[in-house]
Structure 1
Amino acid sequence: MDRLTGKADQDVAQLRTLFESQVYNLNNGTLYFPIRHHSPVCSYHLLRLIEEYKPDIILIEGPESGNPLLDVLADEATQPPVSLYYTYESEEERAACYYPMLRYSPEYVALKEAARLGTPAQFIDLDYHHFAKPNKAEQREFSIQDESLLAGSEFIHRLCQQTNSRSFDELWENVFEISGLEKSTQAFTQDVFTYCTLSRMCYSAEQLHSTGDLAREAHMRRRIEQAGREHERVLVITGGFHTYGLLMSEHPEPDSAGMTLNDQVRDQNSIHQQMYPMVYTFAEADRLNGYASGMPYVNYYERIWTQLVRQKNSVYNVTALDFLSRLTHKLREGHEHVSTSDAIEAYSMVQGLAGLRGKREGGVYELMDATLSSFVKGELTLASDKPLQELHQLLTGDVIGKVAPNPFSIPIVEDFKERCTESKLQIRTTGQHKKVLDVYAKPDHRRQSQLFQCIVYLVPDFAKRQSGPDWIAQRDMNLVRETWVYTYSSRIEARLIENSLYGGTIREAATRKMEEEMKEIPDHHSGDLAKSMLQALLMGLQDTAMKLYEQVKSALQKDGNFLSLCESLHLLNRIQQHRRLLGLSEEEQLLNLVSEAYNHAVDKLMQLSRTNPDEHEAIVQGLKLLAMLADSSEEHFRDDTFRAHLDELLSDSQLPAQLEGVCIAISSGLGDRLREEIVDRARGYIRGSQEQTRQTALYLQGVFSVARDAFLYEDQLLSELNYLIEQLDYEEFIRMIPELRLAFTYFTPMETGLIADRVANLHQVDIEEMSWSSIDERTLIQTKTWDEALRKEFDAWKLI
């Protein structure tokens, strides 16, 4: 035990005595087996211990509410990684926890071995809500197998420094995972107990109380004592950090973290808790990905465990060879230049590094160092680290577990899996998958799109539309295909479980959730309600969408905002135009709703004279929509109200310039005003007061948004704009440039070229001269100096 430098020999001797008398004594009625969560070597020695000790019952650190699920976990049809998902909710807080199990987790190995031998097994830990302390009114998820105290103690920190270990994980692999294979089970268990206890001794009782560890240990201690009264041979499997606390009770805790019996009963009545068996993934179980406990590089240690179960020799060397072979193959598939000699050199280096570091075999850290040295050519950069990226993915793995059929299954989760299977979505492996859907041409693809929309509505993290028409945001509507990328994990299943309160199927849950959300929308927000109607249709919930009919109609009558009404009109009109694609057959109702939105938007036109400048761009789009519908062949839009209100607006001297421009352009396009009036009003701005002149660009923006031809093919407006530019002084010209440029963004490149031709003709110059580069400032100053000198000379000779 010379590695324990820094700890007093007396403390170590006391721990040795305690270990031999109370922890690992095969003659005792209770035997303690300290572990590190998800450690293959712990599971390896655990199997040997069970065979030798032959316990009457096995007690495991795990939430007691999970005991009804033990048969499901031990079922042959269950394929790890799996997890117990625990949720609790009270008036003050809400939280969720994971209790993951891998094929080589000691807890899972104990359950499987107990089932094989017919030995009873039980979880003995507190349910998580007794000691979890999330922020009030904040939901969060965590793993209760948290090893941050063990890995972050001062003892471990100094030990890593002394052994030149880069992390606790590297230290653990060296001391336990590799060296532990050649030790007896008793010697290995003693090392685990000693290391974990010395780490625990770095913390005060107050710290252990604040984390809930003392409360948990007091509870588990009572369960152990109870089992000891009922069975002759009890095997206790807990995290090594807790073993000492189970034996020593200098800091006894009241039941359930200080509560009286009445408090406990009252607490249980106020807490709503549930626990479900669910799938888990290698990626989520990897400690490097944010999971708080256990071993990193899950797939690597899964391979180690497989070799141990097969009782192979040199398991780490065999595993290193396997990973190097697969890495070489994968890199070659990616067209990386990797030779067989590189792989051979890497394998040789794994063994060489192991010898230099005093290890019997090279582990995962030697494998990574060898890959860096042999596969990365030159300096390690973002462009050259592909081998390390691929190795990390191989070490982590992409496996998703499977839970045996059981009465605890959640209907919505089963429906989700069934629907995904029907749609051929990949939910058996991790990683990002892609699905391209031709929603306009193929009914099956349209149904798959509806499934994606439903699931994303319930669980946004599942998928994302990478490209394709966005009906809600009104973007990319010219595209005919949708591309979805999706990723499945246990967190997706957890979110589905949370949504199970809405219904037993994806469709039912989405329907009820949407109906409840619609109740929260204020009854005058017609735009939000119309958006909900469209979203329901995209999810294939036609019945839900039509339930909104009366609610939307009522909101339109109460909505007094022009922009909100225009948004509603735009959405409703799009639904009406694409009703067959969206699965609607009732045309009359939709037409009435569109007409209702149109009439109410028109009635609000007179508000536009007193609007905020920040809203003008959106108002312009609303006016264009109304103009398009007013000019259509639809009978219910063909009245004179819109045109009459435009006339009134154009007579209002307070009408903002940009809105005046779009109104006169629309009125001219409808044939109600002469096109010459567009120029006349522009002339009024250009030749008016200084303040009016500054509004010219805004007026032109309004005109060009609807009637670009008024500038493209007629000379009067071009001449007036040319006059404006000639008359402006330098400072005013610079001030107006941004708005003028914005006005001309409405023109296409071809139209811009046509304008350039007309400007060249106006100034009687060749078109090529328009593209000449400007004179640099230095030349301009020099030329100006020469010009002044010549003028003085001419004046002296009286030549001017």
Structure 2
Amino acid sequence: MGEVLRGAQMDPVSAGADGAQELLRESAELFEKAYRPEDGLVCWPVRHHSPVCSIHLAKVIREYRPDIVLVEGPEEANTYIPVLLHEETKPPLAFYYSYHDSGKYIAEEAGEYRCYYPFLEYSPELVALREAAALGVESGFMDLSYAQILIGSAEGARLLRKGEKESYNDDYLLSENTAIQELCRKKGLRGFHEFWEKYFEIGGLHRDTKDFMRDLLFYCLLSRKNTSREELLRDGCLLRERFMAGRIAEQRKQGKRVLAVMGGFHVRGVLAFLGEYEPEETKLPALRKSLPEKDCAVYVMPYSEEQADQLNGYASGMPHPAYYHRVWEAAQAGSETPFTESSIDFLIRCGKAARQKDAGISTFDEICGVQMMEGLSALRGKPECGVFELSDGVLSCFVKGERDISSEIPLLLLKRQLSGRRTGSLWSGAPIPPILQDFQQKCKDYQIKINTTVKSERTLDIFTTKRHREISCFLHQLIFLETGFAVMLKGPQLAKGTGKNLIRETWQWQYLPAVTAELIDKSVYGGTVEEAAKSWLKRRMEENAGSEEGSRLCIHSMEMGMPDLFFQILAKLREWISEETSFDAMAACLFNLSQVEERQEMYRIPENTAVSDMVRGAYEKLILMLPGIASCREEEQEKRLKSLRSLYRIAQKTDHGLDSQMLYEGVRLMLQQPDLNPAIHGAGLGILYGFDRDAEQEILFTLGGYLRGTHEKMLAAASFFRGLFDTAKDLVFVNPAFLEAMDGMLRQIGEPEFLEMIPNLRLAFCYFTPSEIDSLGGRIASLYGKKDGELLAEQAADPYLFALGERIEAWAEESLRQETGEAG
């Protein structure tokens, strides 16, 4: 391992032979300073969620027997250590940290921030806490509070990213640098994870613990050498390292033997702040002496392997948690080859799952897969088969033929199995946030069972029973908060425009651990479900949502029973409508507002003319925007057709009081624009036909122009049909003459051109229902003197007779040619 790392291509800071020797000297010195059990200090480096790091760490704790174990992690979570260690608590778990920046220390606007600190069964941090408890010694977290880390970070820091579920632990400093990328390239490895598994997991398992620590410190020092000081300052690393060093120093002053567990990247920095190295002149941000207690929160919550899997978005630690959990279990059971044992186990499980999916995997394929894994591990210089040999074995032996959607089923199954499905559980006495208490109380009040994971259903008379309306609002709030607790099976769905005639809602709910996790995740927005929903609604409103999203928020506020916020959104919506430049967004806004106008009285929204005024304003703006969509690109036409159809249907309704003549004139103007998209052309003429039946002749004339035009124009006729049938499919039923004229035009097209048109023609007729297709087929059959279904019953020519006829025809043509030639 050491030889491999020493061969790394380093940046100018450590390049060349002299640079490599200096790095070796520094890493040896770092080990001597970090591992000093005789002096009462061990700074143990880890990679988050590494099972082999945990195995060596447990050995060190048992041999060293410190007086206190300090673990990297925000210290405000110390009160939850008994919960983590309780026998009823089962990983995966996570600390959930939140901070409301009411003092505006981070940005000009007060914002909400949150992050996660996951623990798997084999996470080094959890193993350290458990080993300390087993020895009966103190333990605790030693890092800055989450809020102080945020305040001490600069703009662009990872924890300050918006719209992402951020992790407190982030190994990017170990994996994202040019030296490691170059090293992987030279060694023929596909990336950092394969490098890590080969040299630190599989390679490190049977190494002496001190040698393992030396290798890991060398690697971490190499990573630190290739990380700029600006990046360390930006992400608050130096600030955190100074704080952790201070906590270690406090314990040492009391004469305690300390073992400190931290990300390997931080060991050099912490030791520098402990005075083991010459201090660098760096001005660090000042810490806030105190922050409002109400702005800071931490809770422990159930987590899942799937959430913790880096490949599903978690930016820290090892991927494939289920696989490494199996490795950990095998190692704890005394297996000499836990990686190979786990790889074979997963390969067999993958084969079994693939057989259940009829993927055609046999026992022989599994035997070949094991042989492939073992052969690859030998070729790659690995003492055992790891997860990358497992994946390659499945790809080589389970994927038959070319890799495509149908043949890669085994790979998809394996990926799901490697990610895992375990979910954690908490001790029943664990503190829970107020929002979870409110949820549980509301469920009790509304007789919603959450003491079982069985799905339950209830029908609510939301417009006649006040209590049912309250339950509906509560369930809509949970949907808005994306808790995954409930789903409405039947009822008026305003945003979709379905179920408008229904006066009851049928709900189904199921209480799973993930619901608890989502509610804790949303606790940053409020202490009750309603408060959190209101805060989340306000936040989305304040993010300059736009006309489409803003109108959707109006619907949400109605469904959740928040009339005060409804009118606040409505006031903002007027501004968003005036600024909107997208035809599709404006059409969606009009649709949503029309739903609101039709239903606001039933949802007990006080009468107000503002909605009607906005419907009219959105409608008139859409009319003005019509000429701009005439020449839309082909990839945009489906959205434009949907928007045109929605506009047309709303204009036809009398209860909105809209001037349909405006739409007629607007479409006329649109059809006069150059470079008219064929589908938009057809849809526009279909709308005109809806207003004026005399437009049928114009449609036939235009269709003739397409079918008798150039080759490109002829092929565009299919798109014209798509648009026409989208807005006026009844045209083919009400007037037999139109169907005859269309049939006559299509018969004049050559066979090659017709075959090219077929795909788009099929799409054009997808607007018809099955019964309409049957009716249309009967009408077309009658044009040829056939009865309904007889066209489909026509017998195809015998292939032998057809081939014989072709040969006879060729012989006849050749005979005539020869006779004509002789006669000439």
TM-score normalised to the size of structure 2?
0.66
Q: How does 1:88-99 map to 2 (within 5 A)?
A: 88=99, 89=101, 90-93=104-107, 94=111, 95-99=113-117
**Do the aligned partners of residues 772 and 483 (structure 1) sit closer, same or farther apart at CA in structure 2, a change above 3 Å counting?**
farther
Q: Which residue number corresponds to residue 670 of structure 1?
A: none
Paired residue secondary structure (1:42): helix
**Do the aligned partners of residues 3 and 467 (structure 1) sit closer, same or farther apart at CA in structure 2, a change above 3 Å counting?**
farther
Q: Which residue number corresponds to residue 200 of structure 2?
A: 176
Q: Which residue number corresponds to residue 301 of structure 1?
A: 324
Structure 1 range deviating more: 155-164 or 169-178: 155-164
Q: CA deviation at 1:393?
A: 1.1
Q: Which residue number corresponds to residue 375 of structure 2?
A: 352
Q: Which residue number corresponds to residue 688 of structure 1?
A: none
Q: CA deviation at 1:224?
A: 1.2
Amino acid at match of 2:53: C
Cα deviation, 1:345-399, whole Å, max 9, x if unaligned, reads: 2122222322333322211111112112211122333432221121111111122
Taking the aligned partners of 1:526 and 1:13, their CA distance within structure 2 comes to: 61
Q: Which residue number corresponds to residue 368 of structure 1?
A: 391
Paired residue secondary structure (1:96): strand
Alignment partner for residue 129 of structure 1, among 138, 150, 158? 150
Contact preservation (8 Å) 2:486, 2:507: no
Using the aligned pairs only, state the percent identity.
Answer: 29
Paired residue secondary structure (2:36): coil
Q: CA deviation at 1:227?
A: 0.8
Q: How many residues of Structure 1 are paired with residues of Structure 2 in the alignment?
A: 678
**Do the aligned partners of residues 499 and 71 (structure 1) sit closer, same or farther apart at CA in structure 2, a change above 3 Å counting?**
closer
Amino acid at match of 2:47: R
Q: CA deviation at 1:405?
A: 4.2
Matched, 1:48 2:59: yes
Matched, 1:236 2:246: no
Taking the aligned partners of 1:289 and 1:462, their CA distance within structure 2 comes to: 21
Q: Which residue number corresponds to residue 212 of structure 1?
A: 236
Q: CA deviation at 1:316?
A: 1.7
Taking the aligned partners of 1:316 and 1:533, their CA distance within structure 2 comes to: 55
**Do the aligned partners of residues 123 and 703 (structure 1) sit closer, same or farther apart at CA in structure 2, a change above 3 Å counting?**
closer
Q: Which residue number corresponds to residue 671 of structure 1?
A: none
Contact preservation (8 Å) 2:683, 2:726: no
Matched, 1:25 2:4: no
Structure 2 unaligned spans of 5+: 8-16, 579-586, 629-643, 669-681, 754-824
Q: Which residue number corresponds to residue 311 of structure 2?
A: 288
Taking the aligned partners of 1:550 and 1:44, their CA distance within structure 2 comes to: 57
Q: CA deviation at 1:629?
A: 9.2
Q: Which residue number corresponds to residue 258 of structure 1?
A: 284
Matched, 1:315 2:359: no
Contact preservation (8 Å) 2:541, 2:569: no
Q: Which residue number corresponds to residue 270 of structure 2?
A: 246
Taking the aligned partners of 1:350 and 1:37, their CA distance within structure 2 comes to: 27
Contact preservation (8 Å) 1:569, 1:597: no
**Do the aligned partners of residues 381 and 722 (structure 1) sit closer, same or farther apart at CA in structure 2, a change above 3 Å counting?**
closer
Q: CA deviation at 1:199?
A: 3.0
**Do the aligned partners of residues 437 and 346 (structure 1) sit closer, same or farther apart at CA in structure 2, a change above 3 Å counting?**
farther
Q: Which residue number corresponds to residue 185 of structure 1?
A: 209
Q: CA deviation at 1:177?
A: 1.4
Amino acid at match of 1:752: V
Paired residue secondary structure (1:85): strand
Structure 1 range deviating more: 1-10 or 72-81: 1-10
**Do the aligned partners of residues 612 and 408 (structure 1) sit closer, same or farther apart at CA in structure 2, a change above 3 Å counting?**
same
Cα deviation, 1:716-766, whole Å, max 9, x if unaligned, reads: x9899999999xxx99xx9xx9999978865444x5244233897xxxx9x
Q: How does 1:590-609 map to 2 (within 5 A)?
A: 593=607
Contact preservation (8 Å) 2:555, 2:592: no
Amino acid at match of 1:368: S
Superposed CA RMSD = 5.8
Cα deviation, 1:668-704, whole Å, max 9, x if unaligned, reads: xxxxxxxxxxxxxxxxxxxxxxxxxxxxx99997785
Matched, 1:625 2:658: no
Contact preservation (8 Å) 1:160, 1:168: yes
Alignment partner for residue 118 of structure 1, among 129, 136, 150? 136
Q: How does 1:347-426 map to 2 (within 5 A)?
A: 347-405=370-428, 408-413=431-436
Q: How does 1:242-641 map to 2 (within 5 A)?
A: 242-248=266-272, 250=277, 252=279, 258-259=284-285, 263-265=286-288, 268=291, 272-405=295-428, 408-413=431-436, 453-459=476-482, 470-475=493-498, 477=500, 493=517, 497-499=521-523, 501-504=525-528, 506-507=529-530, 509-510=532-533, 535-536=556-557, 538-539=559-560, 541=561, 544=562, 571-574=596-599, 579=602, 593=607, 624-626=652-654
Taking the aligned partners of 2:82 and 2:413, their CA distance within structure 1 comes to: 37
Structure 1 unaligned spans of 5+: 631-641, 662-696, 712-716, 779-800
Paired residue secondary structure (1:264): coil
Cα deviation, 1:570-627, whole Å, max 9, x if unaligned, reads: 6454466xx5xx7x7xxxx98xx49x799989999xx99x98867999887566433x
Taking the aligned partners of 1:698 and 1:154, their CA distance within structure 2 comes to: 55
Matched, 1:106 2:124: yes
Amino acid at match of 1:363: G
Paired residue secondary structure (2:425): coil
Paired residue secondary structure (2:45): strand
Taking the aligned partners of 2:387 and 2:265, their CA distance within structure 1 comes to: 25
Alignment partner for residue 191 of structure 2, among 158, 163, 167? 167
Taking the aligned partners of 2:262 and 2:457, their CA distance within structure 1 comes to: 48
**Do the aligned partners of residues 353 and 230 (structure 1) sit closer, same or farther apart at CA in structure 2, a change above 3 Å counting?**
same
Amino acid at match of 1:243: V
Q: CA deviation at 1:31?
A: 1.6
Q: Which residue number corresponds to residue 14 of structure 1?
A: 25
Contact preservation (8 Å) 1:658, 1:699: no
Q: How does 1:667-682 map to 2 (within 5 A)?
A: none
Amino acid at match of 1:2: E
Taking the aligned partners of 1:293 and 1:745, their CA distance within structure 2 comes to: 49
Q: How does 1:681-720 map to 2 (within 5 A)?
A: 704-705=689-690
Matched, 1:72 2:93: no
Q: Which residue number corresponds to residue 684 of structure 1?
A: none
Cα deviation, 1:302-350, whole Å, max 9, x if unaligned, reads: 1111122222332122212221221111101111100011112212222
Amino acid at match of 1:63: P
**Do the aligned partners of residues 55 and 468 (structure 1) sit closer, same or farther apart at CA in structure 2, a change above 3 Å counting?**
same
Contact preservation (8 Å) 2:88, 2:426: yes
Q: Which residue number corresponds to residue 636 of structure 1?
A: none
